[in-house]
Amino acid sequence: MTALQQDTSAKATTVSIIAAVSLCHMLNDIMQSMLAAIYPLLKADFALSFAQIGVLTLAFQITASLLQPLIGIVTDKRPMPYSLPVGMGSTLIGLVTLSQAHSYGMLVAGACLIGFGSAIFHPEASRVARLAAGGRFGFAQSFFQVGGNAGTALGPLLAAFIVVPNGQRSVILFAGLALLGIAILGWVARWYAEQHRASKGRPAAARTLLLPRNVVLRAVLILVLLTTIKNVYMSSFSSYFTFYAIDRFGLDVQASQLMLFLFLGAAAAGTFLGGPIGDRFGARFVIWFSILGVIPFALILPYANLFFTGVLAAIIGFVLASAFPAIVVFAQELLPGRVGFVGGLFFGFAFGAGGLGAALLGGLADEWGIANVYWAISLMPILGLATIFLPRLDRQA
């Protein structure tokens, strides 16, 4: 009976850790989504062009993109449990900077600080989720990532009802979320440190590749391409969908934020379901379904009326977002023993690809108009046909 109680307790602790890092992922992404959510406000207050808005997104996402793989490589060799609350602290400082910014330079600095916080948080939090997974890696990644998607979805909603009516300085009200995240991550860091101490003396995780090196390299490059497609396309929504809804349908700012919430909320649901489906049918199947399944809906979107734009945005968000947990798990299987590097590479590349895409799309929107940009970007998911070249793994159906 005692052994059973200990086993049950261990399982409960594992679930609580995954839930904790997922909650902190939500808090982190609520705060970082504040930047994109208040773009219409900042555009009016600082007289910004679409290109300058794209550079703000680029500053945030490139900061995270460049640092995350490096942090992942370092922590694969030397885990740093207490870096988690430190990363959240950087996000806190970035939020305060955004709320008090009186120049474009300060806005860029605030965006960079938030990006730095994400660069520290994501690789180590992803490692904690896998460590606590108990073999259900797809479920753990989905649970962890859905927190981020939920936060990204809630950010614009909170901005619409708190920041937009009260102005830029009200962003500082969200600093309380950062303090809560620091406290929770302090507890997670202690659990992580205990796991690390307990594992000392055990054999290191196997790093032998399951497939020939050239096959693995090709597969990783394909996964990077798919991540680029997914995140550039999704960045067109997170950064510019509010402007598209305002320009195309004459909505006000609050109504356009609700349209964005539709897309991001559906993306959160897709992320949560993608991992368990991958555990059941294989990550490769989920990637196929997600990347290719979105093509017809993306092609129809630029021609839809207001009602069907909302419907299609929700479908696109749900289907496309389900790919990312599967991509991460597939890459972890391709590169065993390199959890931090994989997490840093794909979370970091996700930010970088989205940032570069946002900057490019912002410049094109200034030249062509936002409606024409949405027509052009609808063709991008067709590149997902590269999925056909992904290899099969023994562990993946």
* Distances from the Cα of 331 to the Cα of 122, 181, 319, 342, 346, angstroms: 16, 28, 20, 7, 9
pLDDT value of position 203: 55
d(CA 34, CA 263): 16
CA separation for the pair 176, 62 (Å, rounded): 26
Question: Which of 395, 153, 148, 396 lies closest to 272 in space, CA to CA?
Answer: 148
Q: CA of 154: how far to CAs of 32, 88, 219, in Å?
A: 11, 18, 34
pLDDT exceeds 70 at position 97: yes
pLDDT at 9: 39
The confidence band for 186, taking pLDDT boundaries of 50, 70 and 90, is: very high
Beta-carbon contacts of residue 173 (< 8 Å; ≥ 6 apart): 162
Q: Is 250 exposed, middle or buried (0-12, 13-18, 19+ CB in 10 A)?
A: exposed
Q: Which tokens in the block code for residue 179? A: 């303090």
Enter the pTM of the model: 0.66
The token pair at 1 is 């009976």
Rounded to whole angstroms, how far apart are CA atoms 94 and 32? 9
Predicted local confidence at residue 99, as pLDDT: 86
What pLDDT, on a 0 to 100 scale, did the predictor assign at position 396? 46
Per mean pLDDT, which range of 198-202, 357-361, 365-369, 390-394 is the poorest? 198-202
pLDDT: which is higher, 396 or 64: 64
Per the model's pLDDT, the better-predicted residue between 158 and 314 turns out to be 314
Structure tokens at 82: 């207490």
Could you say which DSSP state residue 213 is in?
Answer: H
pLDDT class of 7 with cuts at 50, 70, 90: very low
d(CA 375, CA 396): 36
pLDDT at position 3 over 80: no
Which of 168, 174, 169 minimizes the C-alpha distance to 45?
Answer: 168
- 142 HSE (CA, 13 A, CB side): 23
Query: Region 36-41: what's the mean pLDDT?
Result: 78
Q: φ and ψ at 75, to 5 degrees?
A: -75, -20
pLDDT at 350: 63
Cβ-based neighbours of 222, under 8 Å, separated by 6 or more: 386, 387, 389, 390
For 207, the token pair is 């790093």
Lowest-pLDDT range, 304-308, 348-352, 389-393?
348-352
The contacts of residue 208 (CB under 8 Å, 6+ apart) are: 336
CB 51 within 8 A of CB 363: yes
Mind listing the pLDDT tens digit for each residue in 255-269? Answer: 888 888 888 888 878
The H-assigned helical ranges of the chain are 2-37, 39-46, 50-77, 83-100, 104-131, 137-158, 164-166, 175-199, 213-249, 253-281, 283-293, 295-300, 306-321, 323-334, 339-368, 370-377
Residue 322 has which token pair?
Answer: 């389900």
Please check whether residue 168 is in contact with residue 38, taking contact to mean a CB–CB distance below 8 angstroms.
Answer: yes
Q: HSE on the CB side for 188, CA within 13 Å?
A: 34
Among 23-37, 96-110, 270-284, the range scoring the smallest mean pLDDT is 270-284
Structural domains present in the chain: 12-389 (1.20.1250.20)
